[in-house]
Amino acid sequence: MATTIYESGSVELIDGTEIYITPLKIIYMREFMEAFEKVKQSKNDIEAMSNLSICVLISMKQYFPSIKTIEQLEDSVDMPTVYKILRLSAGVDVDPESKETVKEQATESGTSWEDLDLAKLESEVFLLGIWKDYQELETSLSMPELVATLSSKRELDYEEKKFLAAIQGVDLDKQSGSGDEWEKMKARVFSGGKTEDSNDITSFQGSKAVKAGFGVGMGIDFEDLTKK
């Protein structure tokens, strides 16, 4: 049974060095997303790829810190490796054979924090008392890890409240609607920004797939026909 909460994998640099790619920790993802805004503003594919290269260079701070410049990055990775790093680190899916432009593909698949109250989510998780400050929290957790941790915390809190309410003869499960926005946010994170529908198959990944007993990577694969 799968026990991971996100997709990860290894890539090989041109010199044969192997590095392991997981979703970017929040502290690096912040910087990545700032640079990603320039991808959205790119005038053509050449400019879009140049800006995406900057995003990959930022991700190297987590995966391979000795790569510090664009020149070093260009000497270290080929384009298929760049595409794989973008997909695994930030959910940016670019297919060189797609009829869509690089900008269109990157913008459609890339993570967006525009409607996400990250400070509120981090504040709730911080109450677990594991991290000494928020910088340590952001250095320790990626967005999928933050959401999975917060989801478990909320579920445990709810189960405790449900038990106490049941003693008083109250059925909390009859209440509905309060968690809609939370479910949409989780679906966005686990599907890589592809959907807000918690019942969409693309949202059944990682810990959600493990809990459901099925999902992407657990006997189910899917193909995005919009990329054809």
DSSP 68-88: -SHHHHHHH--HHHHHHHHHH
Token pair for residue 223?
């193909």
Per residue in 167-224, pLDDT (tens digit) is 776 666 665 445 565 566 666 666 655 665 555 545 555 544 544 444 554 454 545 5
Per residue in 94-117, pLDDT (tens digit) is 887 888 888 888 877 765 566 667
Cα distances (angstroms) measured from residue 11 to each of 55, 122, 128, 146, 216? 17, 30, 34, 25, 21
Identify the residue whose tokens are 């990577």.
217
Cα distances (angstroms) measured from residue 208 to each of 20, 122, 148? 23, 20, 9
Sign, Cα dihedral of 53, 28, 193, 219: positive
Mean pLDDT of the chain: 79
Domain coordinates of the chain in residue numbers? Answer: 9-109, 118-227
Share of the chain above pLDDT 90, in %: 41
Predicted confidence at residue 107, as pLDDT, reads 78
Residue 164: which pLDDT band, with cuts at 50, 70 and 90?
confident
Find out whether 103 and 40 touch, Cβ atoms under 8 Å: yes
Q: What is the mean pLDDT of residues 39-56?
A: 92
Per residue in 65-91, pLDDT (tens digit) is 999 999 999 999 999 999 999 999 998
Predicted confidence at residue 155, as pLDDT, reads 83
Token pair for residue 41?
């503003």
Share of the chain above pLDDT 70, in %: 68
**Does 33 score more than 60 pLDDT?**
yes
DSSP-derived secondary structure letter, 177 = S
**Does 166 score more than 80 pLDDT?**
no
